Every structure is written in structure tokens, then in C-alpha cells.
């Protein structure tokens, strides 16, 4: 059954992407009736970014990123598609254009816009790119300039992806996870203010990511030779998700017509990475081992030395790895996550 679902989802995905690329008028017409021209506005970090970071600065624009789709680096932190692409496909639209390309003329704007920047967080992180508050400022500015109308916003949906850059920044700045609980509280408070701003702007439907199990990221569990997850970090993720659920429930209760849905990445990741049932039939042979990684701890996926030599290795079959690099799922990983979130997508 699970397999059939995956296949159906995959077929649907291929159809939407395939048909949209060819621009079949008939198919578009069909979607138009079903959903109206729904737009997707995307905020957050690398799990959702489709190319906002500067080409010069970001590994997401270097090989081997993008080898599966579109066949070359596209600024996505994966070998292929990311969460945004799967959600857009589910809504029956093309992935919204990255904010960076907004001057490309009116046509690309019809699917919404992606304001997400890899490496950013709710607060400022270690990279200098717009945090969540600033991303919402950019959105608001475009509405004030009349690029998007009130009607566009009314019928739209927002995806907010916040997956832990604030916490890695906290760790680097403090050298320890001491005091993390009160930091998580302040982060959720700020996140709630950001969501409130989106509702004030007029967004009525939102999907926000719960925090994935941070302790299962290859970057954080190297100590255990990629065999098990770091429970301390996973507990922090669970605490974040608990407070997030409370904040979202509160907002949904107090705002008529508002619907914020949590995409439970924690459960989705865990069910794929740890479920004994999946062990046998999972196509991810060693799910905690990334496909692309630096040759040693000084290098990362995509690193090259001063002579242009590759300082990383890439596995033979990216689609048999859940993780693409030490932080981000592969396209096949996202495909499995999207399948696991299918019922949540349906409720959107």
C-alpha cells in the first residue's frame, strides 16, 4: 500500500512538473478550475530555498549540487528538488520564483515568490542574509509596490521553513548547549510574532515546518559513526516542536479564518530513518550516511582546493541516500518525506 501511495505521489509529481514545463494549456485550465490560481509564498532557510543566495558565496551553486535535477547547480541545497518543489507540485503549480529573479517580468510571478535563504533563521545567524523578519519585510514591500495584490495574498498559501540554523548558531556562539531551553522559548515567541505579521498582511493559510530531529543529521552524529541519532539534540527538537504546537494552536483558536498547519518533519524523518519496518524494505541502505561529503572534516560537499581539485566524494546512486550532504535530504529523501506528509498536505 505504502509503495502504491509513493508511486501515485511520484506520478502526480512527474505529471505536474512534466506538464507544467511543456506548458500544456489544457492541463493548466484544469488546475485553474480546481484551485484558482493559488500562489505560494515561501520564507525560511535551505530546506525551502530555490536559489536566493549569491552564486559567488554559496556551495548550493557549485557542483555536484543539482546533479539529479535540473542537471546542474540551481541554488538548491540538494542533488535535486527540495520541500518547496514538492509542496508546489502538490498545489498543482510550478515552484515559485526565487526573490533574486523577481525582475524577470510579470509572468514568473504568477506562482508566488520564494524569499527563503539557505543558512538563515528566525534571528540572525552566522551568514549575512535576510532573517525571517526581513524576508517578511521584503514580501510586504512587494505588496505595497503593487507587485502582489490583496487578492493574490488572500488566495495564497505561505510555507515557513525554520529548521535549526538558529540552534547551530547558538552552539557556535556559546560553545555549548547550556541555557538552550530559554533560547528555544524566545525563538518560538519571535516566530509567533512573524507568523502574526503574515496573518496581518492577509495570509490565511500557512504551512510551517516542525523541527526535524537535529540529532539525526549526519553533521551532528558523526561521533556515533552514523549508526544512531544524538538523543540530546533530538530532545531539543522535541521541545521546540512542543512549544510550536502550543503557539500555533493558540493562533488558530484566536483568529477566525486562519489555518496554520505544522509539517511534522520530526516524525517524517524518524519514520524513514529509524523505523525497523523500513529497514528491510527501505531503499536507503544506510540512511544516516550522506551521499556527498568532504574527504575529511575540513571539507564539505562541493569544496574544492586552490587547484580546483575535488575535496569531496559523491555516492554512486544519490537516490539510495536519504541525506544528500551532512544537513540536507536528497531529492529521493524529500520524496519520501513528502509521501510521509501526504495526509498533512491533503488537509491543507
pLDDT tier for residue 35 given thresholds of 50, 70 and 90: very low
The active-site residue out of 79, 328, 330, 340 is 328
Provide the CA 15 distance to its chain's centre, in angstroms.
22
The whole-number pLDDT of residue 225 equals 58
The whole-number pLDDT of residue 111 equals 94
For 300-312, the pLDDT digits (tens) are: 999 999 999 999 9
- Residue 291 makes CB contacts below 8 A (sequence gap 6+) with 79, 314, 315, 318, 321, 323, 324, 325, 330
Element (H, E) at 41: strand 40-44
User: CA-CA distance, 292 to 204, in Å (whole number)?
Assistant: 39
37: cell is 490560481
Please confirm, yes or no, whether 264 is among the known catalytic residues.
no
Question: Closest Cα partner for 218 from 292, 318, 302?
Answer: 292
Sheet holding 259-263, edge to edge: 97-98, 112-114, 40-44, 157-161, 205-209, 259-263
**pTM for the model:** 0.87
More confident residue, 338 or 36: 338
Considering the chain, what percentage of its residues have pLDDT values greater than 90? 75
The whole-number pLDDT of residue 269 equals 96
For 200-239, the pLDDT digits (tens) are: 999 999 999 999 999 999 986 554 456 788 899 999 999 9
Cα-based distances in Å from 116 to 130, 154, 206, 289? 8, 20, 15, 26
The whole-number pLDDT of residue 28 equals 37
The active-site residue out of 46, 74, 168, 237 is 46
The whole-number pLDDT of residue 181 equals 95
* pLDDT of 31 over the 50 cut: no
Question: Closest Cα partner for 270 from 222, 237, 223, 319?
Answer: 237
Q: Are 204 and 154 a contacting pair, CB within 8 Å?
A: yes
**How many angstroms separate the first and last alpha carbons of the chain?**
23
Q: Given 3-state DSSP classes, what are the helix, strand and coil percentages for the chain, each rounded to the nearest 5? A: 50, 10, 40
Cα-based distances in Å from 337 to 182, 227, 267? 30, 20, 9
* pLDDT of 275 over the 70 cut: no
Region 55-70 average pLDDT: 96
Please confirm, yes or no, whether 325 is among the known catalytic residues.
yes
Q: Could you give the domains of the chain?
A: 31-284+333-347 (3.40.50.1110)
The active-site residue out of 79, 85, 166, 325 is 325
For 245-268, the pLDDT digits (tens) are: 999 999 999 999 999 999 999 999
140: cell is 510586504
Please confirm, yes or no, whether 340 is among the known catalytic residues.
no
pLDDT tier for residue 289 given thresholds of 50, 70 and 90: very high
The whole-number pLDDT of residue 285 equals 81
Q: Are 293 and 326 a contacting pair, CB within 8 Å?
A: yes
The whole-number pLDDT of residue 222 equals 55
Its sign, for the CA torsion 215, 220, 221, 226, is positive
Considering the chain, what percentage of its residues have pLDDT values greater than 70? 85
Number of neighbouring beta carbons within 10 Å of residue 172 = 10
pLDDT tier for residue 348 given thresholds of 50, 70 and 90: confident
For 168-193, the pLDDT digits (tens) are: 999 999 998 899 999 999 999 999 99
Amino acid at each position: 500500500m505504502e509503495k502504491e501511495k509513493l508511486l501515485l505521489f511520484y506520478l502526480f509529481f512527474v505529471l505536474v512538473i512534466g506538464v507544467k514545463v511543456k506548458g500544456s494549456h489544457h492541463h493548466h485550465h484544469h488546475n485553474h478550475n480546481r484551485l484558482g490560481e493559488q500562489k505560494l509564498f515561501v520564507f525560511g532557510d535551505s530546506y525551502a530555498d530555490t536559489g536566493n543566495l549569491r552564486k559567488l558565496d554559496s556551495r548550493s551553486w557549485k557542483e555536484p549540487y543539482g546533479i539529479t535535477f535540473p542537471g546542474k547547480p540551481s541554488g538548491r541545497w540538494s542533488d535535486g528538488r527540495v520541500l518547496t518543489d514538492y509542496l508546489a507540485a502538490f498545489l498543482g503549480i510550478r515552484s515559485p520564483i526565487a526573490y533574486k529573479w523577481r525582475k524577470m517580468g510579470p509572468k514568473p510571478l504568477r506562482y508566488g515568490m520564494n524569499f527563503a535563504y539557505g543558512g538563515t533563521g528566525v534571528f540572525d545567524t552566522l551568514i549575512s542574509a535576510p532573517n525571517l523578519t526581513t524576508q517578511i519585510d521584503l514580501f510586504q514591500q512587494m505588496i505595497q509596490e503593487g507587485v502582489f495584490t490583496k487578492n493574490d495574498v488572500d488566495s495564497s498559501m505561505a510555507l515557513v521553513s525554520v529548521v535549526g540554523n538558529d540552534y547551530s548558531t547558538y552552539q557556535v556562539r556559546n560553545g555549548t548547549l547550556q541555557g538552550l531551553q530559554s533560547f528555544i522559548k524566545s525563538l518560538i515567541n519571535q516566530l509567533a510574532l512573524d507568523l502574526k505579521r503574515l496573518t496581518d498582511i492577509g495570509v490565511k493559510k500557512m504551512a510551517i515546518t516542525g523541527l526535524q530531529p537535529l540529532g539525526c543529521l549526519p553533521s551532528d552524529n558523526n561521533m556515533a559513526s552514523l549508526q544512531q541519532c544524538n538523543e540530546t539534540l533530538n530532545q531539543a527538537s522535541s521541545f521546540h516542536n512542543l512549544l510550536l504546537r502550543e503557539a500555533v494552536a493558540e493562533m488558530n483558536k484566536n483568529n477566525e479564518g486562519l489555518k496554520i498547519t505544522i509539517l511534522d518533519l520530526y516524525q517524517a524523518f524518524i519514520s524513514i530513518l529509524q523505523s525497523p519496518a523500513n529497514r528491510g524494505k527501505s531503499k536507503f541502505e544506510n540512511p544516516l550516511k550522506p551521499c556527498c561529503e568532504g574527504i575529511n572534516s575540513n571539507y564539505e560537499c562541493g569544496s574544492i582546493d586552490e587547484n580546483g581539485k575535488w575535496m569531496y566524494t559523491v555516492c554512486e546512486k544519490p537516490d539510495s541516500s536519504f541525506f544528500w550532504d551532512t544537513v540536507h535530504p536528497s531529492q529521493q529523501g524529500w520524496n519520501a518525506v513528502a509521501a510521509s506528509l501526504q495526509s498533512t498536505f491533503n488537509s491543507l
